[in-house]
Structure 1
Amino acid sequence: MSTPGDRVDGRPVDISPPPVEVVTADVARALAEDLGDGDVTAALLPDVRDTAYLICKEPAVICGRPWFDACHRALDPEVAIAWHIAEGDRVRAGTVIATLEGRARALVSAERASLNFLQTLSGTATATADFVAAVERTGAAILDTRKTIPGLRVAQKYAVRVGGGVNHRMGLFDAVMLKENHVRAAGSLTAAIRNARAAQPSLPLIVEVETLDQLDEALREGCERILIDDFDTAARREAVRRANGRIPLEVSGGVDLDTVRAIAEDGVECISIGGLTKHVRAIDLSLKLGRRS
């Protein structure tokens, strides 16, 4: 789980891509899904070297270069890809962001899979960057959730980091998160926290609270972060007052670009937004054979 605060100019320090084996596996699944026994349409083209250019048709933060490159190199190891922008750059509509030279059939066969990765991850990075910009200079970090496209969690969480956000837990294995079911089973929030600490003493503990009384319990028992669930504005501000910076507070649910600034200005340290990875609007990209006139 990333730590909110490790940021330079509003962006995380580490936006290194996932391990090569993760990218390779993602790409292998995508190509197998698209190509099946072979691309019968690309087979109609002469198998000669050709050029192509990649254009972004709308303003966006570009993310997904490792997956784009891997798609093309899987089908043509000798393809030459020249990127004209860096990963995480914000570009204008109409920008040619890369040029390619390789076998025509391979360029066409890899086109859809490579664009699917790039448009999806750029969509997540762009949405994240918009939220990060909206809370600039408040001290609040924008977090993702586990509401990701199945099989693409690592990729989408990478895109959140590229957009300037911070990763919440990766899955159900790297942090303990207590909710109402745990409180119900243990009999109280205090008992649930103590049970969690005894069972998983080395893992970060996140506690969801539904009332200010539960907030006081969590503050007394201690944890790494407290999620204040469905608090109205007055209760949220009171929670910030009571916490007084001792334990970071997180707000989740019902957050959009119209409301996020006010929530951040109330003094919470973290705002998690499922829509960064769940409500993905793909960026409009196009790969064209030939040279742009």
Structure 2
Amino acid sequence: MRESTRQALAAGGLDPERVRRVIVDALTEDLGADFRDVTSVATIAAGQTDTADLVAREAGVVAGLAVAAAVFELVGEVTAAERTVEVVVVAHDGARVARGDVLATVTGPTRLLLTAERTALNLLSRMSGVATHTRAWADALAGTKATVLDTRKTTPGLRMLEKYAVRAGGGTNKRMGLYDVAMIKDNHKLAAGGVGAAYRRVRQTFPEVPVQVEVDTPAEAVEAVEAGADFLLLDNMSPATLREVVAAVGDRAELEATGGLTLEVAAEYGATGVDYLSVGALTHSSPILDIALDLRER
């Protein structure tokens, strides 16, 4: 992977080495133990070179261009290609693109281009689909104080990339995993004997870790805040109930509406005064953005 690509990944908050591992695993899945593309090897001369464009087949928001560039660069390494590719990124992550827009251009051995094609497109299309869906939520919440949040409902192995795509689409990451934020949910409250007891136990055990508490009623929200919680998940509450909680809690805690939210009601929920809307569908239900690799005619 070229240093310029590593720098682009790091600038977006992505660990280049972790991205590398994701890509190598994906290439291994596609190329098998021998790292070969039997069709390209059989049909394309070893010395042939070409230029191809990554093209949007539909309108949306792009994310993952540096990741796609890394795929092309790494294929040369895993297949022991004598020559690598040159990737020129034309668009930028977070940009709205139209059908037919060229996002990047790649030049190099034709076998290498076609061997990398599917893995590059799988990651780029997936990330761009998440970014496109997230931007729709961000647009729906425009004019309110609320921001759309993602969740841990991500594709196994792709959480880092999907959460990056949420950021590119105008959303905000919640927690990366079970290790960086404590989230007290209903089962934790039942096991601990109540919201106050659960909160105090987390605080005593991990005093440095942020704590978020899921509540189901305005009374429980007040109890959690009085116990010391400063971030509440307001689960499956109506807009009227959310406004009641906002009035009762005030600025003593950040408030997140969660549970069954849809784009159709986003603006209504955002207008209640909550700080966040939590949407698992950003990562578990976003369709891909259709992107293709087109070889230029000779």
The equivalent of 2:54 in structure 1 is 54
Cα 1:127–1:42, aligned 2, differ >3 Å: closer, same or farther?
A: same
Query: How far apart, in 1, do the equivalents of 2:234 and 2:173 lie?
Result: 18
Query: How far apart, in 1, do the equivalents of 2:51 and 2:239 lie?
Result: 56
Tell me, yes or no, if the aligned pair for 2:230 and 2:252 is still in contact at 8 Å.
Answer: no
The equivalent of 1:32 in structure 2 is 28
Verify: 1:223 aligned to 2:229, yes or no: yes
| Other structure's SS at 1:41 match | helix
| 1:205-220 equivalence runs, <5 A | 205-220=211-226
Match of 2:269 among 237, 244, 263: 263
Of 149-158 and 57-66, deviating more is 57-66
Tell me, yes or no, if the aligned pair for 1:67 and 1:114 is still in contact at 8 Å.
Answer: yes
Verify: 1:281 aligned to 2:287, yes or no: yes
The equivalent of 1:11 in structure 2 is none
| 1:144-293 equivalence runs, <5 A | 144-291=150-297
Verify: 1:18 aligned to 2:17, yes or no: no
TM-score by length of 1: 0.92
Tell me, yes or no, if the aligned pair for 1:50 and 1:101 is still in contact at 8 Å.
Answer: yes
The equivalent of 2:104 in structure 1 is 98
RMSD of the alignment, in Å?
1.5
| Other structure's SS at 1:286 match | strand
Q: Which has the higher contact order (CA 8 A, sep 6+)?
A: 1
Query: How far apart, in 1, do the equivalents of 2:245 and 2:154 lie?
Result: 29
Structure 1 ranges of 4+ moved more than 4 A: none
Tell me, yes or no, if the aligned pair for 1:53 and 1:290 is still in contact at 8 Å.
Answer: yes
Tell me, yes or no, if the aligned pair for 1:81 and 1:98 is still in contact at 8 Å.
Answer: yes
- Tell me how far 1:291 sits from its aligned partner: 4.5
Q: Which amino acid aligns with 1:28?
A: V
Q: Which amino acid aligns with 2:87?
A: I
- Tell me how far 1:66 sits from its aligned partner: 2.1
Aligned residue pairs, count: 279
- Tell me how far 1:262 sits from its aligned partner: 0.4
Query: How far apart, in 1, do the equivalents of 2:139 and 2:287 lie?
Result: 18
Tell me, yes or no, if the aligned pair for 1:17 and 1:66 is still in contact at 8 Å.
Answer: no
The equivalent of 1:129 in structure 2 is 135
Runs of 5+ in structure 1 lacking a partner? 1-13
- Tell me how far 1:207 sits from its aligned partner: 0.2
Q: Which amino acid aligns with 1:87?
A: D
Query: How far apart, in 1, do the equivalents of 2:53 and 2:61 lie?
Result: 18
Query: How far apart, in 2, do the equivalents of 1:202 and 1:208 lie?
Result: 19
Of 67-76 and 161-170, deviating more is 67-76
The equivalent of 2:39 in structure 1 is 41
Query: How far apart, in 2, do the equivalents of 1:112 and 1:239 lie?
Result: 48
- Tell me how far 1:65 sits from its aligned partner: 1.3
Query: How far apart, in 2, do the equivalents of 1:188 and 1:26 lie?
Result: 41
Tell me, yes or no, if the aligned pair for 1:240 and 1:268 is still in contact at 8 Å.
Answer: yes
The equivalent of 2:94 in structure 1 is 88
More helix by percentage: 2
Deviations 1:156-206 (A, max 9, x none): 001111111110110000011111122212222111111111011100000
- Tell me how far 1:230 sits from its aligned partner: 1.4
Deviations 1:211-257 (A, max 9, x none): 12111101111223100111122211101111112201101111111
| Other structure's SS at 1:258 match | helix
TM-score by length of 2: 0.90
Query: How far apart, in 2, do the equivalents of 1:172 and 1:146 lie?
Result: 9
The equivalent of 1:111 in structure 2 is 117
